[in-house]
Structure 1
Amino acid sequence: MQRPVGAAPILVANAGSSSLKIRIVAPDGAVQFAGMAAEVGGASRLVLPAGSRAEAIVDHAAALVALIDAARAEGVDPDSVGAVAHRVVHGGPDLAASAELTPTVLSRAQAAATLAPLHNPPALAVISAAAERWPGLRQVACFDTAFHSTIPALGWRYALPDLPETRDIRRYGFHGLSYASLVARLPAATGRPLPRRLLAAHLGNGASLCAILDGRSAATTMGYSPLGGLTMGTRTGEIDGNAVLDIARRAGIDRAAAILNRESGLRGLGGASDMRTLETAGTPEAAFAVAHFIHWAVHHAGAMVADMGGIDAVVFTGGIGENSATVRAGIMRGLAFLGLDFDEASNGRGGPVIHAPSSRVQALIHAADEEGWIAEEARRVLGWP
């Protein structure tokens, strides 16, 4: 059938390792439908505007079908969409911008699946399911690694020899869609030009920092994979390579991967991956986990500021960054040596905002909106107004 274009909505698909979020976005940015399939392949459930319900969802392809059916049940016609846009975590070394999913782009994303084994395969499964559901419909891939393609070689190259065994082992960086959205939208949100030296903190179950210099990524804490850098919900963050090898020798590679990616971080230290749970737990282990998260955020922030030669603003985004006053205050105290001063105040939208009334350094909160940014990116790639 002839697909509508230009004025048609875009379906945004954001696939995680065990989840799928979709959003149907009108040309004016209005959200026609939003929903999520959680715990795909396990104790799965649909999270919808009307509430959450258990539903058997065996894989990501089935998750897409279930969410499309849910949209239709809410009066939104999924067949009205003119394109599907996907968050694809890893674009590999050759994809430095969002792109329409031609056979060449798709093959490169497939090749990069070995670099992001927890993230790319689910996205590729949803891409395939969308192609089956809407044959001939244009699809766009928005890569989380693309924003960091501006990091200089001194920042992305590990001190490894150039060997076949080390090919493509380099720092890629992630959360790029969140950072790109922040760069584009922060000036309108603050009414001020984008700060030249911006320390951005995307803090959530996955967490990273980015040094944004003149609107471009200059350094970031995540590296070859989303495992590196800060303490995270279930990931270790920074860990010595020989320690990883030793865990693999003791437990085997697959078990080591599970420990490092799914059983470590806040969960491994405090017994829970959710910051809200830890902040109210009242146990020494939980308090240590929160302190560990803050300590390593401050530790890595110092390196990001050094890479920029100073700092003009810090901005918090992501679930923890936007909602945990405890974490923000701890990080700001750790950065007090930079001359930051701060107060918490209401910004009129029901959430906190940080400001620095006696300092030259702005401190801000900005809501993450990866799905909204993906929709905007897709329209640009497709040449739609």
Structure 2
Amino acid sequence: MSGVILTLNAGSSSLKFAVFDDTGPSASPILGGKITSIGRDPAFAGRDASGRALDAGAFGALDLSMDHEDMIARLLPWLDTHHGDRPLQVVGHRVVHGGQRHDGPTRITDDVLAELDALAPLAPLHQPHNLAAIRAVALWQPDLPQIACFDTSFHRSQDRLAQLFALPRALSDEGILRYGFHGLSYDYISGVLPAHLGEKANGRVIVAHLGNGSSMCAMQGRKSVATTMGFTALDGLMMGRRSGTIDPGVILYLMQAKGMTASDIEDLLYRQSGLAGVSGISNNMQVLLESNASPAREAIELYCYRAASALAGLVPAIGGLDALVFTAGIGENAPVIRQKICDHLGWLGITLDPQANARNEVSISAPDAPVQVLALPTNEEAVVARACRDFVA
């Protein structure tokens, strides 16, 4: 009897899940959903293969005292009663940081888990929750195989120069390098590019993953050549609550002149900055777009200017630009943001078709523009499911 695959993506305040067939290449789950606002006002939403909403009441009451482990302990038995009589074969997890050693999906063992624990300070908003999900599954079914799929793996194809900081060699040798993130998203987009770009898919492409966490990746031959995130998921673009790239001297000043501790600065840069910090209103781009407040407009303009500047900085790594792809929550659904970013980049040959962009069409570049621009949905869960199918096979 064929079985099913469960994928889990534990974020800082959310838990996404999907159940897939363990055979066949379908990227569509037979069951899926998410728990949002964990620790604040948790809510469950599920859907079946047809997209029909499942009864949230049957999942049971949630309260703000429940953490990720509690949610997973509730979710796993509930899933057992909803995916039919086929056995669960394997659980796949999105894990943000895999370090230097992991360049592909890895089966979880005690040694691997300890290794990933040591990387938690490099992704404090995500790694602890990713690993909590793994431990919760192991507690529920100790013998069930679990696979980790890493956001850093996709970028291991980069040249050494793209990974180096200008630091003493001994520190680089210890592993203080540019790792890059959002690799599962980039992996998925790289796989669907030929269907949309033809031969150009293997050319010079920049993918902009724009969401609450944002980054960009320059690809050639559909492999990562350079990316905006570095040692941690704090680097690069301005994000929902993260500052993105900042002068290191600012950090020294905050410590020396303001008396801030490392913990204070971590909280400032990871949770109080970005769109939320600049606007003083929200980290949600849609909320800011609907606001008439001048700080909201300034936050939006800064986000778009920083994104365009970062994109231009990636072009030398691939020697030009054939196509630009927007993806993730903002990239897929915010025409105004795509337009504002591209308005800074006309000199690169990037020109949008305003009507196509406003309609959120797949191809949104002007017909005669030398650089083709796309807006594509990403699917990280499908990448994890594919890795699990390979394991089952």
Is contact 1:195-1:312 (8 Å) kept? no
Letter in 2 for 1:59: D
- Could you tell me how far 1:138 is from its partner in structure 2? 0.9
**3-state SS of the aligned residue for 1:65?**
helix
Farther-moved stretch of structure 1 (17-26 vs 54-63): 54-63
Cα shift at 1:335:
1.2
What SS does the aligned partner of 1:281 have?
coil
User: Offset at 1:193?
Assistant: 5.0
Deviation at 1:341, TM superposition (A): 2.4
Specify the alignment match of 2:38 in structure 1: 40
Aligned partner of 2:72: which letter? L
Deviations 1:101-146 (A, max 9, x none): 2344333222222322221111111111111212211111000000
RMSD: 2.2
**Aligned counterpart, 2:184:** 177
Give the CA deviation at 1:48.
2.8
1:307 CA drift (Å): 1.1
- Equivalent residue for 1:71? 79
Q: Deviations 1:32-77 (Å, cap 9, x if unpaired)?
A: 221212232333222334376761262222111222344356x335
Aligned ranges 1:128-207 → 2 under 5 Å: 128-163=135-170, 167-190=174-197, 194-207=201-214
Whether the 8 Å CA contact 2:92–2:385 is kept in 1: the answer is yes
* 1:345 Cα deviation from its structure 2 partner: 4.6
Q: Does 1:20 align with 2:15?
A: yes
Kindly tell me: are residues 190 and 70 of structure 1, through their superposed partners in 2, closer, same or farther at Cα, counting changes over 3 Å? Answer: farther
Q: Distance in 1 between matches of 2:72 and 2:173?
A: 36
CA contact (8 A) 1:92 1:111 kept: no
Q: How many residues align?
A: 375
CA drift of 1:257 comes to: 0.9
2:263 paired with 1:265: no
Unaligned runs of 5+ in 2: 48-52
Please tell me the residue identity of whatever aligns with 1:341. T
Q: For residues 188-245 of structure 1, give each alpha carbon's deviation from its aligned partner in whole angstroms, at most 9, with x where no partner exists.
A: 2455551410011000000001111111111111111111111100000110112123
- Aligned partner of 2:68 in structure 1 is 60
Instruction: Give the Cα separation in 1 of the matches to 2:302 and 2:129.
Output: 31
- Distance in 2 (alpha carbons) for counterparts of 1:126 and 1:311: 39
Worse-superposed segment, 304-313 or 64-73: 64-73
Picking from 199, 212, 215, the partner of 1:208 is 215
In the alignment, residue 362 of structure 1 is paired with which amino acid?
Answer: Q
Q: Deviation string for 1:73-105 (max 9, x for gaps)?
A: 6x3359722100000000011111111223443
How far the C-alpha of 1:273 sits from its partner, in A, is 0.6
8 Å contact 1:235–1:264 — kept in the other structure? yes
2:3 matched residue in structure 1: 8
Q: Find 1:89's aligned residue among 96, 111, 115.
A: 96
- CA distance in 2 between counterparts of 1:210 and 1:78 reads 41
CA contact (8 A) 2:241 2:275 kept: yes
Task: List alignment gaps of at least 5 residues for structure 1.
Answer: none
- TM-score for both structures, normalised by structure 1: 0.91
Match of residue 368 from structure 1: 378
Aligned equivalent of 1:237: 244
The alignment status of 1:356 with 2:366, answered yes or no, reads yes
After superposition, give the CA deviation of every residue in 1:263-283 in whole Å (9 maximum; x if it has no partner). 110001112111111111011
Give me the whole-angstrom Cα distance separating, in 2, the residues matched to 1:122 and 1:25: 22
2:50: which partner in 1? none
Classify the secondary structure of the residue corresponding to 1:63: helix
CA separation in 1, counterparts of 2:75 and 2:366?
43
Aligned residue identity for 1:83: V
Contact 1:160 1:166 in 2 (8 A): no
Q: TM-score, normalised by structure 2?
A: 0.89
